[in-house]
Chain A
Amino acid sequence: MALTLDPTSTPTQALTPAPRRRTRGTRRDPSVMIIVAIIVVVLVLLLGLPMSKLVMAAFSAEGIAVFTGMFTNPANLRVVGNTMLLGLLVGVCGTLVGFLFAFAQVRLKFRGKRLLHLLALVPVVAPPFAVATATITLFGRSGVITSSLLGINTDVYGLGGLVFVLTLSFSPVAYMNLKGMLENLDPSLDEAASDLGASKARIFFTVTLPMLAPGIAGSFLLLFVEGIADLANPLVLGGDYTVLSTRAYIAVTGEFNVQAGAAYSILLIVPALLVFLVQRYWTGKKQVTSVTGKPSGRAELITAPTLRIPVLVLVSAWVAVTITVYATVVAGGFLKVPGVNNEFTLDHFRFVLAGIGSKAMLDTTVMALIAAPTAGVLGMLIAWLVVRKLGRFAGVLDFVGMLGLAVPGTVLGIGYAVAFLVPTEIFGVQILPPLAGGAAAFGGGLAIVMVFITRSLPPGQRAGVAALAQINPAIDEASTSLGASGATTFRKVTLPLIHSAFATGITLATARAMTTLSPIVFLTTPGIKIMTSQILAEVDAGRFGNAFAYCALLVTIVLAIIGLINLLLRKVVFRGLLRH
């Protein structure tokens, strides 16, 4: 059986069985050590410093008051309970939706798969508030759909609305996760079960689902964390349903109590970290991709109507809802007062494109352009170190890189504000000037770029780790044996092989950077305007038309950048490599 290695296969196709090389006792390559050192310094700057300052703030007097109040103050306990419930529901619903989509995409036979794929991913580029605001417009008490069309009186504020909006926003994550897993399942397992007499349904429940369990669990956990960490949507749509993120925000901005805010933030980190640890432990134990090598052939697509119809109906319904919501975002920018006064107008776009609006667009885009590739490269480097080079410390590094995702945005923002609005000192010696705020270098843009990078790093890192884990380490060794140093191997061999994961990483990084809000609110500066905080201001002021116009523009810019980056990667950076 000859082995063939397809370089442009998606990262989801296993290349060869990768024997686990024992890494202890392997040589330390100096170029690798340098890279590790650089990355450690960067991570300390991006995450270590703000987090430690945050923890110090949280454990100051005011912060401790919050902690003790946790158990005595029923309001606080309720907030925690609300948060957990929200996370749970978002995790379950989001995973369910993602699974339906993934299942339909991979296993069912129908036309328009490419379209479905794109539609499933639309929410990834969505700005904060877009969905929440549109939801209010459509499904609110006097929503276009609920009130005008259906005549029912719904309260979209609170848990129900939040779960809906967050599910819509985050199900793409579950979708991509589960799609990859479903594609990787070895159909010969199904065939073996079938051969032994199992019906299709039985196969699904006794073979397929258990194999998917780590992926389903992983998605659930990821969505749980995203759900409890979100700030933008609970702010707009939460109503009286207070969660930890809004509580922290209120503490900082309403009660002027940064320390209490820090304390609430710490409470947010704890479940997030636990969830991450559990997920890592779990995925570390089980191997879902077939160990025997490249799966032979693909599973047969299901055509049975009893399965196809219900699933496709559900999927289509969800797609319809998604399209309606996003159409509202796009259309809303052209209506005088969306939902109330539907006269056509260009005023909102004029407002957005003139003055502050255009400056915000420029500033945000420039900083995202700086941050996204940096995050992409960092993510790849970390992934490489984690999968290939570091033995014992791989886990630690992987974890730290992912903190940008695990730590809720609000927390990060407060941490950054606490750490970087003032100079950084060690034992009284200043090693860094203020990096954030109006008094800082580059008008405070540096801190914002850093936040962007921190938030965008994890997706790239995960994509990189997944891609690298499937490349046979012998390829690295072959390169070494031919005389290449660690860094050269990374550059000439590893990177080209994971370029699609790299592109994915940068794409996700861009989308994340440009749509991130929660940390930004604490870092705004006179010299730099960020689109997302402008959107917040407009939503706050009730000027939904302007908000929608901003959102539409934001999405356009994000898509343009993604397209540009992908083009650049293909044509320039990876030119000259074989295409198949």
Chain B
Amino acid sequence: MVSSVTDTTIPAAAAGISDIDAARLTLRGVSKRYSADPTVAAAVESIDLDIEPGEFVTLLGPSGCGKTSTLRMIAGFETLTEGAINLDGVDISATPPNRRPMSMVFQSYALFPHLSVRDNVSYGLKLKKISASRIAEDVDGILAIMNLSGLADRAPHQLSGGQQQRVALARALVMRPKVLLFDEPLSNLDAKLRVQMRHEIRLLQRRLGITSIFVTHDQDEAMTMSDRIVVMSKGRIEQVGAPSEVYRRPASMFVADFIGRANFLDAEVEAIHGDGTATAAVLGDSLRVPAHPDVVVGDTAQLLVRPESVHLSTGAAEKSERATGDVGRVLNTVFYGSTVEYEIETDSGNLIASVSDPVAADVLDLQSVAHVRVESDRAWLLPDRE
């Protein structure tokens, strides 16, 4: 029932919307304090961020990490305690929110309940004193793109959640914003719809090339939609990078644990090599693994192994510089359908192993013996700190 946005159905009007100059957004030393008391932690602490034109950047983190405050400062709903925000080189830190060429899509959609879909979408345009015919053209165009044309005269409460979402998006897009802001817009949708909307939003954004900033606490959303992810915690940026980078080479244990699932093995750093690898003693063996630049010889470090990189076999694994292993017992089995997850109890701690495309016969029984194997090029050595 819910139709999607397709590449081929974008009429001429979209050309009008897509001729936006993609904007570059820069944050320098941006901080936000809600309390003058220096002992109280800042909500946002000294953020530096460069967002490229046309980029889709996600601010990701647990609640309280400062992502929403940052977004609201960019939008102009919060003032900056320190720092500056530049749009295409112009300092907009003091510009009131209604003067910034940005549009926001809200978590609750915030559709005006007393206005029809059409009136909702044309609201911002009417404020700009554009001719009525231009407005009608633009509105019809965006409604067509979002496949809402038949619903133009409905009231918001007559729409489904997904439809309301798209109206909110249409309303934001029709303004030809230089920056598109998303404040956890998918949180209120059910799982299937959420996945679908992710796809649609990303498709649209790529097509139109608008610089977009997306806030979420859902790492799947961040991973599937973003050009780059900004992982935040306690008001600070932990890491900025492409999804693959953030996933494979997390900058800290926090990031490692927040994105995807992580197994950490204690490791003693024995040597550092110049090519970005290090040798560490793990599970009784010396392994040569990719390493974070901050790893120091002689320190205890943590070896990150993702569950999909923990291999199981019934027999003991061979040991080399490129792999190591341990033996343990299966504590728990969780069947996801496309994968099976095992929790294996070993002497070095409990490991989660994820096996994809399991063949029924190969599913291990509880309490059965399992041999786990870790390969060095799938691991990542991190300093032992949060």
Contacts and interface: CB of A to CB of B under 8 A. Distances in A.
B79 A472 contact: no
Contacts of B175: 482-483
Contacts of A577: 114-115
Given A3-B109, A6-B157, A482 B77 contact: no
Contacts of A15: 113
B108 A3 contact: yes
B104 A3 contact: no
A5 B154 CA distance: 13
Nearest to B175: A482
A10 interface: no
Contacts of A25: 32, 34, 78-79, 81
Contacts of B168: 478
Contacts of B157: 4-7, 580
Interface string A475-487: 1011111111100
B209 to A, nearest CB: 20
Interface string B75-87: 1111101000000
Contact of B34 (A22, A29, A478): A22
A580 B155 contact: yes
Contacts of A472: 108, 110
A5 B111 CA distance: 8
Nearest to A482: B124
A478 B115 CA distance: 13
Contact of A482 (B76, B113, B116, B171): B171
B102 interface: yes
Contacts of A478: 104, 106, 110-112, 168, 171
Interface in B302-326: none
Contacts of A580: 155, 157
A492 B127 CA distance: 11
- Among B34, B75, B104, B190, chain A packs the most CB atoms within 10 A around the CB of B104
Contacts of B162: 2
Point out which of A3, A477, A483, A488 has the most chain B C-beta atoms below 10 A from its C-beta. A483
Contacts of A482: 98, 103, 123-124, 127, 171, 175
Given A2-B160, A580-B155, A481 B112 contact: no
B43 to A, nearest CB: 9
A192 interface: no
B134 interface: no
B188 interface: yes
A493 interface: yes
A44 interface: no
B96 interface: yes
A541 interface: no
B164 interface: yes
Contacts of A313: none
Contacts of A20: none
A483 B130 CA distance: 13
Contact of A496 (B102, B114, B128, B164): B114
B62 interface: no
B77 A480 contact: yes
A5 to B, nearest CB: 4
A474 B103 contact: no
A6 B189 CA distance: 19
Task: Indicate the size class of the contact surface on chain A.
Answer: 35 or more
A314 B123 CA distance: 52
Contacts, number: 114
B53 interface: no
Nearest to B81: A25
B97 interface: yes
B107 interface: yes
**What's the interface size class on B, roughly?**
35 or more
A1 B164 CA distance: 12
Given A3-B188, A482-B175, A488 B127 contact: yes
Main secondary structure on A side of the interface with B? loop
A229 interface: no
B112 A1 contact: no
Contacts of B115: 577-578
A296 to B, nearest CB: 16
Contacts of B112: 475, 478-479, 493, 497
A580 B188 CA distance: 24
Contacts of A4: 156-157
Interface string A1-43: 1111111000000011000001011110100000000000000
Contact of B113 (A5, A22, A474): A5
Contacts of A488: 127
Contact of B75 (A481, A492, A496): A481
Interface string B157-199: 1011110100010011001000001000000111000000000
A485 B123 CA distance: 13
A154 B76 CA distance: 70
Given A7-B114, A7-B155, A578-B155, A479 B123 contact: yes
B98 A485 contact: yes
A481 B102 contact: yes
A474 B110 CA distance: 6
Contact of B97 (A481, A492, A578): A481
Nearest to B164: A2
A497 B157 CA distance: 14
A477 B96 contact: no
B114 A497 contact: yes
B188 A480 contact: no
A228 B97 CA distance: 48
Nearest to A474: B110
Contacts of A484: 98, 123-124, 127
Contacts of A493: 112, 114
A3 B104 CA distance: 18
A493 B114 CA distance: 8
Interface string A443-478: 000000000000000000000000000001011011
A472 B109 CA distance: 10
B164 A3 contact: yes
Interface in A301-332: none
B127 A578 contact: no
B154 to A, nearest CB: 9
Nearest to A5: B113
A1 B108 CA distance: 11
Report which residue of B102, B107, B128, B162 has the largest number of chain A beta carbons within 10 angstroms of its beta carbon: B107
B96 A481 contact: no
Contacts of B114: 7, 493, 496-497, 577-578
A436 to B, nearest CB: 42
B83 to A, nearest CB: 13
A479 B104 CA distance: 10
Contacts of B110: 472, 474-475, 477-478
From B97, B114, B160, residue with most partner A Cβ within 10 Å: B114
Contact of A474 (B79, B106, B123, B171): B106
B156 to A, nearest CB: 6
Contacts of A492: 123
B116 A578 contact: yes
15 contacts: A5-B156, A7-B157, A25-B32, A472-B108, A474-B110, A475-B112, A477-B77, A477-B97, A477-B104, A481-B97, A481-B104, A481-B181, A482-B175, A484-B124, A580-B157
Given A1-B161, A483-B98, A484-B127, 9 more contacts: A26-B77, A472-B108, A475-B113, A478-B104, A478-B111, A482-B175, A497-B112, A577-B115, A578-B116
The 5 A-B pairs at the shortest CB distance, nearest first, are namely A2-B161, A482-B124, A5-B113, A478-B110, A7-B113
